[in-house]
Structure 1
């Protein structure tokens, strides 16, 4: 329940930030009459996300067992890619998000009679991106977790995000968003590592990956999955009491690569500052 809640809280806040910036700009520039276009974009994006999620869920239910395992692995890998991209995109784009959105809005309203469609399209693309990311993540979590509380956690996260977004828009709530997205980014990388290892396990169960299947350690007697702590670790970190060599390599390897890309990669501010030429006296 905790993982879907936090992910949907973050995803919902990202969408709420974009919509809030657009709504605030419309209000400040005397264009509040165009708010119905914003709601149309939100409605269309939500409908698309629900349609895609329902279609994928119904399609997977018709697969035989082996194909279900393969589908679980593919959705898991896709969710890992989406979560990783989401963390890196927000880290790089958050500081200039308001500036870029207001520029896009100015261009939209300068497009003549088509500005209504342009505004709907902006909101639709922003909300649809977050919605589709959430759908693929939730599919992966629901398939790799048997907890019946996961959908409730996702719904609660979305509700809290909507309330927080409304409070941010009205100015009654001040959140340290930079710290919030940094901390949740760390959490999401741990979740994604567990999904990545679980997808490797699903590939083995589908009969497509049979390498490095030796058991690294076995904690089935000390911390089984059916205990509260084992279930919590499984839901958050992808814990398995008897992981194989390939699962451990996948977990640690993903964390190493993702951490390098996020903090030590050439596009990070720290690395960029380190590679800037220093001008001294000739």
Structure 2
């Protein structure tokens, strides 16, 4: 029950973070009429993840081994790209919305509508496929404990996501953009690093240095993972949300740092470009 709870909680919370930020953003710019785009993205992804996982498992033997690693790597990198475009867009909107707060709403173009749908769809689809495959592997149909744990994890993650959404709506717009931008940057950096890790596992990318450091605590006497181990209760959540890895490879660390540096430079340049020109 506990493992299924942790897995579904982590997977659902990852998607809830993205969905919560987008819904909060639409609320802030007074465009809640576009919430239906988010809901359609969620519903489409849930249906697609269930159908996709069932078809793949029945026809291709399931996402196992190298195929699973490549699938994970591709979806993580695609998600990071979509998330980055969302971050950059939000950076630009922030400068305008700070000036126009309580005056007018920001209009959303057709391209951005599709971008919102795609981001939500990819985020939920990836977590949905992983969750469906996990539950099938655990044979939850014949195990009430696994089913209860999985459902409890999903409900708990949705509740936490809702609390984040409510909290985000109450803070002023400048703090909202700063906090959510930082969270999304770390989340996207984690996707990049995890995508690289999966490609290394699949042999697509060579491993230069396997472990730059290893701070994972040793296993407990009963063979379970300690609380802060990357596969432990807390560690697994940090891994899913921010790409925490107790023993990363050199390329993982490099990609994580480089991504953050590049996005921070873009953030700074965007702020300078949109700041009022002094005469």
Work out whether residues 216 and 243 of structure 1, in 8 Å CA contact, stay in contact via their aligned partners in 2: yes
Query: Does the CA contact (< 8 Å) of 1:5 and 1:156 recur in 2?
Result: no
How big is the alpha-carbon RMSD for the aligned residues of Structure 1 and Structure 2? 3.8
Q: 1:243 corresponds to which residue?
A: 248
C-alpha separation between the residues in 2 aligned to 1:158 and 1:233?
15
Summarize the Cα distance change of 1:189–1:48 in structure 2 as closer, same or farther, 3 Å threshold: closer
Please give the per-residue CA displacement for 1:212-234, whole angstroms capped at 9, x wherever unaligned: 24211122335522434423432
Cα 1:7–1:153, aligned 2, differ >3 Å: closer, same or farther? farther
* Aligned counterpart in structure 2 of residue 233 of structure 1, from 238, 248, 255: 238
In structure 1, the residue corresponding to 2:210 is in which secondary structure? coil
Q: Distance in 2 between matches of 1:152 and 1:127?
A: 28
Residue number among 184, 191, 195 corresponding to 1:195 in the alignment: 191
What is the CA–CA distance in structure 2 between the aligned matches of 1:229 and 1:161, rounded to whole Å? 18
Normalised to the residue count of structure 2, the TM-score between the two structures is 0.65
Q: How many residues align?
A: 229
User: Would the alpha carbon gap of residues 46 and 187 (structure 1) be closer, same or farther in structure 2, given more than 3 Å must change?
Assistant: closer
Q: In structure 1, how many angstroms separate the alpha carbons of the residues matched to 2:255 and 2:203? A: 17
Matches within 5 A, 1:72-221: 72-94=72-94, 95=96, 98=104, 100-101=106-107, 129-140=115-126, 151-152=154-155, 155-156=158-159, 159-160=162-163, 175-221=171-217
Give the alignment's TM-score, normalised by structure 1.
0.64
Partner-residue secondary structure (3-state), 1:221:
coil
Structure 1 equivalent of residue 52 of structure 2:
59
2:17–2:161: 8 Å Cα contact kept in structure 1? no
SS of 1:239's equivalent in the other structure is coil
Are residues 67 and 231 of structure 1, via their aligned partners in 2, closer, same or farther at CA, if it must alter by over 3 Å? closer
Q: Structure 1 residue 186: deviation in Å? A: 0.7
Structure 2: tracts of 5 or more residues without a match: 1-9, 57-61, 135-148, 219-227
Equivalent-residue separation in structure 2 for 1:228 and 1:180 (angstroms): 28
Larger Rg: 1
Q: Is the 8 A contact 1:215 1:242 kept in 2?
A: yes
Residues 175 and 269 of structure 1, relative CA distance in 2, 3 Å threshold: same
